Structure 1
């Protein structure tokens, strides 16, 4: 294995905790982004929405814990796979060149082994699902495998990420109610546009480097219209969720449950400084709270139904 870099990636949230790990373990924690829990929160929340809106959040609280574990493991696996595919590109971008594979902090073989371990954890969670949810969960694998290549062929890799990171809404719903419903599909659609919105904000950090090395993103495609674009994505998300709620409970009070989340998303857009990478990162990370607010809305409606 190559020698360890002395520093931790610049956008780590928990540098102190990662710094306490043994030197041999640190690159694996960084590969799986354990230092940045925002990623697994964003993967988990759509799973939790599906469970809650289907009415199972209280009775199946254990399933929520399993899905949280699965989100941590599979988000980590996705990051390791992404770094394996993107290791050459990562060396050319300031924010990512210190990642373990790009910097030589770990070997490619070790990264593949670590990927296998994380997938085994995910497999354990998969066995906790009913057959319908299991089959749907398997359907996400092709989307996950293709994602790292999207930034090379489309200006909208964020849309593909939306398909991937929102898939848990389908799995969570079907784990409680093993039949497809329009409300479930609208919940998924809203999650997709939520992901496009927040990942466009995230991509603002890399616009300069991305344009130099040929990486495409919605932040580059939108140019000076990023704020209006993100606002449009969030409005479509809210409209989709409102339609899902209305189908389950056609009363205006059902829509009131989405007001806190809507106000938070509006705050993100109106206060976003698209030329400030630190502000973009803060706004992106605030979506863990947005996800929680949407979960509460789904919980209220799911229990009321």
Structure 2
């Protein structure tokens, strides 16, 4: 059982309690690594909160959390289907169920369909405008696994995908475009580029050997400076969004906690230490929570 779990699994014990037949599917959907669905969920919650709907539509936030868990799992299954040959060549990923042969390709496709059905259930809980925008993410998701083969910046594409929920969350409350929504989305994209560059530090050596491209490789020795720039652009975009809704300096104070957290990540990052990179990456679930509180304050007082 131990050799079937990837090294960065957070919940080996919980996975070990599952029936042996269910374990590979839990691992395929990364249920042992909840950081992924937290990072997908937070922009959804930001959109709802900044649009002023967090209190009245708390039920929608719960639905979006369920959708994030299911669709992040579906995205991981799809990614592993596409990357199964590459995963066999990378130390950290060769023990994944498809790469190791524990799960068949046919079973993976069936599991993907079941997860998408859960996502479909959540899709029915949002209004028509948000439904259409949510469908727009499917093409981005489908293309993502191929980005690491054709660009040094697959993290930017992941930013487009993982930030999409900010648009859906906002439009589920206010079904019309607002520049604040656009700036919230832009800031989230750069936040994702920053934290996923940190995550990619773990695989730099293997990625270089097998020809996988990443922002961590592209930036070379300038990773910390690059992450700083990404986070500063994120904060500037979010500040612009807040200012459009509440043009008072006091509103920008709400960003101070998340700003300090991102600054801590960058200043203490050890680019040559894979464990430190993983810990800094995982800390973004707390950064997302701090940003949610900021959106809640501004959204309820705008």
Which one of 179, 185, 188 corresponds to residue 188 of structure 1? 185
1:8 is displaced (CA, Å) by 1.5
Aligned to 2:286: 289
Deviations 1:49-81 (A, max 9, x none): 000000000000000000000000000000000
Does residue 250 (structure 1) correspond to residue 261 (structure 2)? The answer is no
Gaps of 5+ in 2: none
TM-score under structure 1 length normalisation: 0.98
1:6 is displaced (CA, Å) by 4.5
Q: Write the distance in 1 (CA, Å) between the matches of 2:211 and 2:134.
A: 32
Count of matched residue pairs: 302
What are the equivalent positions in structure 2 for 1:10-29 lying under 5 Å apart? 10-29=7-26
What are the equivalent positions in structure 2 for 1:138-287 lying under 5 Å apart? 138-287=135-284
Q: Write the distance in 2 (CA, Å) between the matches of 1:101 and 1:40.
A: 21
Aligned to 1:55: 52
Q: Write the distance in 1 (CA, Å) between the matches of 2:2 and 2:260.
A: 42
Structure 2 SS opposite 1:56: coil
What are the equivalent positions in structure 2 for 1:128-147 lying under 5 Å apart? 128-147=125-144
Q: Write the distance in 2 (CA, Å) between the matches of 1:294 and 1:34.
A: 24
Structure 1 SS opposite 2:4: coil
Structure 1 SS opposite 2:297: helix
Deviations 1:243-274 (A, max 9, x none): 00000000000000000000000000000000
Aligned to 2:90: 93
Q: Write the distance in 2 (CA, Å) between the matches of 1:57 and 1:13.
A: 29
1:5·1:103 contact (CA, 8 Å) conserved in 2? no
Q: Write the distance in 2 (CA, Å) between the matches of 1:160 and 1:6.
A: 31
1:7 is displaced (CA, Å) by 3.5
Q: Write the distance in 2 (CA, Å) between the matches of 1:210 and 1:70.
A: 31
Q: Write the distance in 1 (CA, Å) between the matches of 2:3 and 2:51.
A: 47
1:161 is displaced (CA, Å) by 0.1
Gaps of 5+ in 1: none
1:204·1:274 contact (CA, 8 Å) conserved in 2? yes
CA RMSD of aligned residues (A): 0.7
Q: Write the distance in 2 (CA, Å) between the matches of 1:37 and 1:186.
A: 27
Which structure 1 residue ranges, 4+ long, deviate > 2 Å from structure 2?
4-7
TM-score under structure 2 length normalisation: 0.99
Q: Write the distance in 2 (CA, Å) between the matches of 1:179 and 1:287.
A: 29
Q: Write the distance in 2 (CA, Å) between the matches of 1:241 and 1:285.
A: 21
